[in-house]
Amino acid sequence: MIEVYNAITNIANNIEKEVFTNYNNFTTVGKTEKEIQEAVNTYCSKEIEKEFTHIKSIKSIVSQDRKELHTINEKGKYLISYVAIDNIELLDLNFSLGTIFGIYEDSFEAANLKAAIYITYGPTFQLVFASKDEGVKYFSNEDGEFIQQDSLVLENKGKINSTAGKNDEFTAEHRALLDNFFNDGYRLRFSNSLALDTHQILFKKGGIFSSPSTPSNPNGTLEVIFEAFPIAFVIELAGGSAIDGKNRILDIQNPTLLQKTPIYFGSSSEINYVKETLN
């Protein structure tokens, strides 16, 4: 696992430097916004796959964009899912964005998650590592080196209310849920980057993120293997909970590479309230 972690720190430094520090290199004259985003995404994916190619313990990797399993070493044991750039549409707004990794053993089942890692770039250049052995740790980057800081643990209750989706498509139940949190003094904090919204809840030690089922997306929008499993893994190890509205995210069985889910995650008080309200 240390080899995988080291590879991810190399990936983080390369992407921070080439994409977030030197973003103008991608904005050559005549390129459209979509072409710039595609160029950035291609660069990030190549950097990720290049670093992982040298690690014998990795069997296969798969990206959220392509969803094609790339086998590196048949004798390896780890399967890695990754989101190269989380919500790349926000790249030109000078936002902090992130990369998300799920490290599985043998198959893409939640029970086989050995670690989850996400990186936040830009103004907040940090790395969060979660494993059952070590809990949730974060590392700040200082001159290209990741320095370990405190462990991240959620309190029972927070004050952040972060919700994704189209307001005009929210059910009456979900709208009432949001209103009740706001009436209780919760603050709206939503970046539309899953890594950053997760990071904010962890650093503020509590709160709730919600991405509900809507008419446009009845099965939710978060991809189970690439997003929901790794983030739920991090949140649970920090002492919180993650559900689809009723059931635990990490209890989803036999997920496909295309499968999506609604999600509610955060500190235990908020998630218990979601269960009581929606059920």
Phi and psi at residue 13, to the nearest 5°? -65, -40
The pLDDT of residue 151: 94
- Quickly name the fold that domain 2-151 has: Fructose-1,6-Bisphosphatase; Chain A, domain 1 (3.30.540)
- For the chain, give percent helix, strand, coil, nearest 5: 40, 25, 35
pLDDT of amino acid 223: 97
- pLDDT tens for the chain, 279 residues long, are 899 999 999 999 999 998 888 777 777 755 788 888 888 889 999 999 999 998 999 999 999 999 999 999 999 999 999 999 887 777 665 567 899 999 999 999 999 999 999 999 988 899 999 999 999 999 999 988 999 998 999 999 999 999 998 888 999 999 999 999 999 999 998 888 899 999 999 999 999 999 999 999 999 999 999 999 999 999 999 999 999 999 999 999 999 999 999 999 999 999 999 999 887
* Cα–Cα dist 275/267, whole Å: 13
Residue 63, Cβ neighbours under 10 Å: how many? 20
Give the model's pLDDT for residue 18: 87
Nearest of 52, 53, 57, 145 to residue 101 by alpha carbon = 52
Domain spanning 160-278, CATH architecture: 3-Layer(aba) Sandwich (3.40)
**How much is the pLDDT for 94?**
57
Compute the Cα dihedral for 49, 118, 104, 223 and give only its sign.
negative
So where are the chain's domains?
Answer: 2-151, 160-278
Three-state SS at 221? coil
DSSP conformation class of 15? H
Token pair, residue 274, equals: 């979601």
Number of H helices, E strands in the chain: 6, 15
Cα Rg of the chain (Å, integer): 18
pLDDT at site 185:
93
d(CA 41, CA 36): 9
Backbone angles phi, psi at 6, to 5 degrees: -60, -40
**Gap between the Cα atoms of 259 and 32, Å rounded:** 31
Q: CB within 8 A of 273, min separation 6: which ones?
A: 177, 180
pLDDT at 93: 55
Cα-flanking dihedrals φ and ψ of residue 228, to 5°? -65, -45
pTM score of the predicted model: 0.94
Instruction: List Cβ neighbours of 276 (8 Å cut-off, separation of 6 or more).
Output: none
Locate 190 and state its tokens. 């939503």
Q: What is the dihedral of CA 225, 230, 232, 234, to 10 degrees?
A: 170
Phi and psi angles of residue 126, each rounded to the nearest 5 degrees, phi first:
-140, 165
